[in-house]
């Protein structure tokens, strides 16, 4: 019998830690064909979602899928995220949480469409990348979440939280 992944258990544990401490849990997700999210909020094949109790309805964090409904621009949308596509879960208020490695394979046709729809900006390079999206259930002009912890090809490491 194959061993089950620790990832869904760690995601649920960080979620519980966030809610127990009054923090807002956010998940950063790699978006591919298996991910059902509002595509208009996807940047560089990533989206950040507020998964707090106040922002979601019917949240189910299973071992294979995270599913819930959330409001985007006042419209309720069904969200389905494969656990394997979760890049990170963290607290909005302090950025503490956990990042995970994700296999980032996007079909070439989808990648070409993304490049056509979102050409790279002609700006100076930024030192740290962020993947942020409007908070589900909040006005579009709301404060943006903190930067997503990035793996960037480095070996994952743990941070002691006291």
Give the separation between CA 25 and CA 22, rounded to whole angstroms: 9
Per-residue pLDDT of the chain (162 residues; tens, 9 = 90+): 778 899 999 999 999 999 999 999 999 999 999 999 999 999 999 999 999 999 999 999 999 999 999 999 899 999 999 999 999 999 999 999 999 988 776 554 455 555 555 554 444 444 444 444 445 554 444 555 555 555 555 555 566 666
pLDDT computed for residue 119 by the predictor? 52
H or E element: which one contains 76? Answer: strand 75-82
Domain spans of the chain, in order of start: 7-117
pLDDT in tens, 41-57: 999 999 999 999 999 99
pLDDT computed for residue 69 by the predictor? 96
| Phi, psi dihedral angles at 27 (to 5 degrees) | -120, 135
Q: How far is CA 124 from CA 13, 112, 132, 133, in A?
A: 38, 23, 19, 22
Residues in the chain, how many?
162
pLDDT in tens, 69-94: 999 989 999 999 999 999 999 999 99
Written as six digits, the tokens of 130 are: 């962020």
pLDDT computed for residue 133 by the predictor? 47
The set of residues, in sequence order, having a beta carbon less than 8 Å from that of 5 and lying 6+ positions away, is: 63, 83
Q: What share of the chain is helix, strand, coil (3-state, %, to 5)?
A: 20, 25, 55
pLDDT computed for residue 85 by the predictor? 96
**Secondary-structure class of domain 7-117 per CATH:** mainly beta
């Amino acid at each position: 019998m194959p061993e089950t992944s620790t990832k869904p258990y760690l995601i649920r544990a960080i979620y519980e830690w966030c809610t127990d401490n009054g923090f807002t849990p956010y998940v950063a997700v790699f978006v591919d064909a298996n991910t059902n999210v509002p595509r208009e909020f996807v940047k560089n094949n990533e989206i950040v979602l507020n998964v707090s109790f106040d922002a979601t309805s019917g949240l189910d964090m299973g071992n294979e899928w995270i599913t819930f409904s959330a409001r985007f621009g006042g419209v309720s949308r069904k969200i389905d995220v494969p656990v394997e596509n979760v890049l990170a879960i963290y607290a909005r208020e302090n950025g503490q949480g956990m990042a995970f490695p994700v296999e980032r394979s996007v079909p070439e046709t989808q990648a070409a469409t993304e490049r056509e729809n979102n050409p790279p900006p002609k700006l100076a390079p930024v030192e740290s990348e962020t993947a942020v999206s409007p908070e589900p259930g909040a006005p579009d002009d709301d404060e943006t979440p903190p930067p997503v912890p990035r793996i960037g090809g480095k070996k994952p490491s743990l941070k002691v939280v006291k």
